[in-house]
Amino acid sequence: MSPEQFDNLMQAASRGDKKAFGQLANTAQDNLYRFALSAGLPGHLAAEAVQETLLRAYRLRKKWQQDSRAMTWLCGIALNVTREYRRKCNRAETGVEVGALIGLAGSTNEVNQAEHAENLAALARALEQLPDRQREALSCRYLRQMDVKTTAEIMACAEGTVKATTAAALSNLRTIMNIKIRNHTDHSNYF
């Protein structure tokens, strides 16, 4: 479904069309789930966060303004929800569950798969050590492949702030990951 069609559904939903909102929710739930996983929530909490996000969106559907993309608006709500869930749950529980995700993605070579999963898990653990805003910026920009403008809308800040936060996050991440990369024998194939 194109962003325009998605916006049209949201427009219909904001006028009171409940079926349109149901269709919109069914379309958006996978994206929102991945967004919550990227924010470092474990699978079961990510699924709960999707439910909570959709419920809040349902309550606020009449307040949606057409000058922003519906999916961006939903991700903005999802970001607030994931922040709340991260605050509630134990710090040890958070972090991208790379093992399960790699299993889903599939790989022909089991040795490569294990090594790949280990490296990505190290990266996910390093992400968890970043400050919240920096982690959110990296999550939107690189894990969800969003542009600077969309990330700024979701994080409710200026585009310049997003660029500065992303640069600082990468620098911090490099510092955290530096030792691992240096110790690795074949540097070019680390990830």
Partner 1 sequence: MNKEHNEPQQVGEDYLDLVVGLEKLGRAIDSAEYPGRAWSEPQKSNTKWLIRILTASAAAAVVICAIALHNRFNTPEAILPQAATTLQTEAIAMNVQKDEPLFNLELPANLALGPTRPVKITPPTASLPEITNISPAVSVDFQPPTLSSIWTR
> Site residues (CB under 8 A) for partner 1?
18, 21-22, 25-26, 29-30, 32-34, 37-38, 43, 47, 50-51, 54-55, 58, 96, 98, 101-102, 104-106, 116, 119-120, 123-124, 138, 142-145, 170, 173-174, 177-178, 181, 187, 190-191
22/69 with CB nearer partner 1: 22
Q: Which of 102, 94, 134 is nearest to 118 (CA)?
A: 102
158/181 with CB nearer partner 1: 181
Q: How far apart are CA 23 and CA 68, in angstroms?
A: 19
Shortest separation between residue 90's beta carbon and partner 1, angstroms = 21
Q: How far apart are CA 165 and CA 52, in angstroms?
A: 28
Shortest separation between residue 87's beta carbon and partner 1, angstroms = 22
Q: List for the chain the helix, strand, coil content (%; round to 5).
A: 80, 0, 20
Residue given tokens 């200026």 in the structure block = 158
Shortest separation between residue 114's beta carbon and partner 1, angstroms = 14
Contact 146, 74 (CB under 8 A): no
15/174 with CB nearer partner 1: 174
Shortest separation between residue 125's beta carbon and partner 1, angstroms = 11
Instruction: Give me the sign of the Cα torsion angle 91, 45, 72, 121.
Output: positive
Shortest separation between residue 67's beta carbon and partner 1, angstroms = 25
The two three-digit tokens of residue 57, written as one number: 């969106």
